[in-house]
Amino acid sequence: MPASQSVLNYDVFVAPEKPFVAPPPAVGDAPAWDPTTSTLIFGARDAVLVDPLMTVPEASALADWVALHDRNLTTIYITHGHGDHYLGLPVLLDRFPDARPVAAPRTARHMRERDTQALDNSLRTMFPGQIADTTPPPEPLESPEFQLEGSAIQIIETGHTDTVDTTSVHVPDLGLIVSGDVAYNHCHMYVGDTTADGRADWIAALDQLAELDPDAVVTGHKDPTQGNPPSVLAESRGYLEYYGQLREANLPSQELFDAMVRRYPDWVSRQQFLILGLG
Ligand SMILES: [Zn+2]
């Protein structure tokens, strides 16, 4: 190890499940967003934050938590173009104005698209008064790798998973993957709006991450009582495969929902929007 290289560490903030405004669902729990993570990767002086969350209250709590680590926040990285992971950005930038918001070029482009902005606005409707009106666009990263105190932070393009142009973060020196929504941890997955082809792409992305043989995987959504084991990659793959079997069997919505909950009785967020889709 070069003398200039310091030892990295990481810490995970989990925003708890939060209720949102929606008509009563036909199945499952009362409407609430699944618990969402933000990960701070830090050295002796500097830090990188992965995904600045969504609502002003949770992003404010996140900013306080980041400040407790007493590091210089240089970078805020956004894994994918779903607003639950980045609409809190203006709150973080207000507190840490020197931090540079970045995303992979394809993700940054996806975030600027009309459909993405429409989804952001529907989140503002679901969480009235809780989400900033505008979010500055992240800068596209020039390279899929950057340095934190001499250690590599690698961006893994995972392509089409729960949306298009998604990424995960790999920190080889920590054996760490911050997966974004490529993997979930004991939390029902956002499969309701997927197709068979989309699920095949998603499974390929999980295999791509498994090939990195990580020691820890922090998922974008998780049961807060769980750790961050790499077994979440295989579990997420199994969830997608089982869901795909049920979809191919053309189960009615209610039965499909019940079968997933029966198969995963301990997983959090028994949400209609996750299992059956937002539309
Ligand atoms: Zn998400």
C-alpha 3 to ligand 1 mean position (Å): 39
**Amino acid identity, position 251:** L
pLDDT of residue 159: 86
Average pLDDT score over residue span 180-201 = 96
Q: What's the pLDDT tens digit per position in 87-119?
A: 999 999 999 999 999 999 999 999 999 999 999
Average pLDDT score over residue span 125-149 = 97
C-alpha 220 to ligand 1 mean position (Å): 6
Q: What's the pLDDT tens digit per position in 141-187?
A: 999 999 999 999 999 999 898 888 999 999 999 999 999 999 999 99
C-alpha 36 to ligand 1 mean position (Å): 7
What is the spatial distance between Cα 55 and Cα 38, in angstroms, rounded to a whole number?
Answer: 13
C-alpha 33 to ligand 1 mean position (Å): 9
The length of the chain, given as a count of residues: 279
What is the spatial distance between Cα 183 and Cα 205, in angstroms, rounded to a whole number?
Answer: 9
What's the distance, Cα to Cα, between the start and end of the chain in Å?
51
Element (H, E) at 12: strand 9-15
Identify whether the C-beta of residue 250 lies closer than 8 Å to the C-beta of residue 229: no
DSSP letter string, 19-52: E---PPPSSSSSSEEPPEEEEEEE-SSEEEEE--
Element (H, E) at 90: helix 89-95
C-alpha 7 to ligand 1 mean position (Å): 30
Q: Is 115 exposed, middle or buried (0-12, 13-18, 19+ CB in 10 A)?
A: exposed
C-alpha 175 to ligand 1 mean position (Å): 23
* pTM over the 0.75 mark: yes
pLDDT class of 11 with cuts at 50, 70, 90: very high
pLDDT of residue 222: 98
Percentage of residues in the chain having pLDDT higher than 70? 97
C-alpha 97 to ligand 1 mean position (Å): 25
